[in-house]
């Protein structure tokens, strides 16, 4: 799938790097091994090198080193704080060997350390960022079992950083071997086959996309704050208490304001590993308020004998929305919440965690699709009700008929915009989940998208909320009374009273409700 112009910068970039095989027979977990600089580590290019046999080098003496970012055209590059985050996915090149096959249930034990350095630091000075001994399940298959053929192994998650605060990073990974019984070859990392190379794919957010994203937030944040203040001042001037829809508009505006707040500027000055968690929470609150508003918005314009304008009438609908958002929040905290303490932790590391994560993502996508279908059904009922009610318009005076026809026309445009916004929101949500999980899924999913789609959906949320607040704001206008008193009936008097409502949309709400008393 491809959305909008291909010239728009992609939200993220991937840099695959082959690990340098450093050698140290006196390995210490306090020492760093790097491949570039004046004093790089002693390394080998191949495990079949004569040096391996001559010096009796074993797997415990090999440290895979990854020094990032990779230089370009001989010029050293450094990470920018605009790139926000860093995700690492590990991949092994394993050659088939009759005497050393990969076990179907192979478990890989990783001794990993991550360090950082900044410009101006002495060369070779690395500070430890995190270290951990983790286990990952290795899923490999091979079509033809012949010597020299390569296994097809899936990527496994290695670590995730919530911020890129430092200029350079160094990753050291060991696969320690512990032979508990040499005759049965059981023990740590003894069922991984003949490992030839180790690759790591480093995924970071593009700085250009971050600048566009933060610029949009900087623009929309004061605009939405100003329109909310203006809207609440209009509401507070009314003699009646605020209606349910007006309360929901304030909740929606507050959630959008929280989402618009450009907290990303903090990452330019401070190390904020919690930024991804905060961003997920902010987006989750906005999703919950937006989905709840749409249900109440459509429900308040249904013609039935139920007395609405009360939040408890919608408790079933809202419980489903809030329950789904709560499940996603728990799942996110089980993954990124734990990563605040240990970046090498991953819920995808175990079979149970992988199945649970896939179930959450698939269930979220299915629920999003079902929600959109249910919302479309409710909006269709509103359209049918309004169409049937329009039959009473010819009996009205010309002034009132034109008044209501204008309101109904604007309302239909708003409902179509609601459907479009809901569809784009659901598509954006599913795309976001797939793009985040495609590296950890077993299936080889190819997904192409551009930042134009995500920024477009984000801009649509702000414009849509802005239009809703403007349309629902009390206008304090009074329509002129009909001069033709001879044709006035009880229904005309009632419609005249409705036409003097301070909000045009509130008069439409009462207009659609009137059938319940006809």
Q: Does residue 157 share a domain with residue 40?
A: yes
In a domain, 46, yes or no: yes
Angle formed at CA 132 by CA 343 and CA 130, multiple of 5 degrees: 50
Phi and psi at residue 181, to the nearest 5°: -145, 105
Its sign, for the CA torsion 398, 404, 410, 415, is negative
Tokens representing 304? 């039935």
What's the pLDDT score for residue 179?
A: 56
Which two tokens mark 395? 């009996």
Q: Which two tokens stand for residue 244?
A: 């349910």
Question: Rounded distance, CA 137 to CA 150, Å?
Answer: 18
For residues 79 and 215, state if they share a domain: no
pLDDT at 386: 74
pLDDT band at 511 (very low <50, low <70, confident <90, very high): low
The band of 393, judged by pLDDT with boundaries at 50, 70 and 90, is low
Residues 297 and 439 both lie in one domain: yes
Q: For residues 361 and 465, state if they share a domain.
A: yes
Q: Cα–Cα distance between 396 and 390 in angstroms, integer?
A: 11
- Per-residue pLDDT band at 170 (split at 50, 70, 90): very high
The range of the structural domain enclosing residue 240 comes to 208-479
Q: Could you give the number of structural domains in the chain? A: 2
- Cβ contacts of residue 421 below 8 Å, gap of 6+? 460, 461, 464
Write down the mean pLDDT value for the chain.
Answer: 79
pLDDT, mean of residues 67-92: 88
| pTM score | 0.78
- Tell me the pLDDT tens digit for each residue of 347-379: 877 778 778 877 877 777 777 778 778 878 888
CATH of the domain at 169: 2.60.120
First to last CA, the chain: 51
Same domain, 254 and 326: yes
What CATH number is associated with residue 360?
A: 1.20.1070
Residue whose C-alpha is closest to residue 298's, from 412, 457, 469: 412
Residues 197 and 337 in one domain: no
Residue 404 lies in a domain: yes
How far apart CA 244 and CA 257 sit, in angstroms, is: 20
Q: Is residue 68 part of a domain?
A: yes
Same-domain check for residues 49 and 127: yes
The answer to whether the beta carbons of residues 232 and 238 sit under 8 Å apart is no
> Given the structure tokens 């409700």, which residue do they identify?
513
* Structural domain includes residue 493: no
User: For residue 308, is it within any domain?
Assistant: yes
């Amino acid at each position: 799938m491809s959305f909008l112009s291909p010239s728009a910068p992609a939200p993220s970039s991937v840099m695959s790097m082959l690990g340098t095989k450093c050698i140290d027979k006196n390995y210490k977990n306090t020492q760093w091994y790097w491949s570039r600089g004046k004093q790089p580590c002693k390394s080998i290019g191949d495990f079949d090198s004569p040096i391996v046999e001559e010096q009796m080098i074993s797997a415990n003496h090999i440290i895979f080193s990854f020094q990032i970012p990779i230089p370009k055209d001989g010029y050293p590059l450094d990470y920018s704080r605009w790139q926000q985050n860093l995700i690492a996915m590990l991949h092994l090149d394993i050659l088939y060997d009759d005497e050393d096959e990969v076990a179907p249930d192979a478990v890989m034990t990783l001794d990993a350390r991550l360090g950082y350095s900044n410009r101006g630091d002495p060369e070779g000075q690395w500070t430890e960022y995190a270290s951990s001994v983790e286990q990952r399940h290795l899923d490999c298959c091979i079509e033809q079992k012949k010597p020299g053929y390569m296994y097809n192994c899936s990527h496994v998650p290695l670590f995730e950083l919530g911020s890129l605060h430092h200029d350079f990073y160094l990753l050291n990974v060991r696969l320690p071997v512990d032979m508990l019984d040499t005759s049965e070859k059981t023990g740590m990392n003894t069922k991984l086959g003949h490992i030839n190379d180790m690759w790591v794919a480093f995924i970071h957010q593009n700085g250009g996309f971050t600048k566009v994203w933060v610029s949009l937030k900087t623009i929309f944040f004061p605009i939405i704050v100003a329109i909310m203040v203006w809207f609440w001042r209009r509401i507070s001037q009314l003699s009646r208490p605020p209606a349910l829809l007006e309360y929901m508009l304030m909740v929606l505006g507050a959630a959008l304001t929280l989402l618009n707040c450009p907290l990303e500027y903090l990452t330019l000055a401070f190390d904020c590993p919690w930024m991804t968690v905060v961003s997920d929470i902010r987006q989750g609150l906005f999703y919950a308020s937006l989905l709840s508003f749409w249900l109440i918005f459509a429900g308040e314009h249904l013609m039935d004998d139920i007395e609405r304008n009360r939040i408890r009438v919608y408790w079933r609908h809202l419980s489903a929305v809030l329950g789904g958002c709560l499940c996603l929040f728990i799942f996110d905290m089980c993954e990124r919440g734990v990563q605040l303490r240990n970046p090498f932790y991953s819920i995808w590391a175990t079979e149970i965690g992988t199945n649970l994560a896939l179930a959450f993502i698939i269930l979220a996508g299915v629920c999003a699709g079902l929600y959109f279908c249910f919302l479309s059904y409710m909006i269709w009922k509103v359209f049918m009700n309004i169409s049937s009610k329009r039959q009473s318009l010819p009996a009205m005076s010309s002034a009132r008929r034109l008044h209501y026809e204008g309101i109904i026309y604007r309302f239909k445009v708003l409902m179509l915009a609601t459907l479009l916004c809901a569809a784009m929101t659901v598509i954006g949500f599913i795309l976001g989940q797939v793009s985040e999980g495609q590296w950890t899924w077993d299936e080889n999913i190819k997904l192409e998208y551009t930042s134009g789609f995500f920024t477009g959906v984000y801009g649509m949320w702000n414009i849509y909320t802005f239009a809703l607040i403007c349309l629902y704001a009390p206008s304090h206008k009074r329509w002129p009374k009909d001069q033709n008193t001879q044709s006035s009936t009880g229904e005309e008097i009632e419609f005249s009273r409705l036409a003097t409502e301070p909000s045009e949309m509130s008069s439409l709400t009462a207009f659609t409700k009137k059938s319940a008393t006809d």
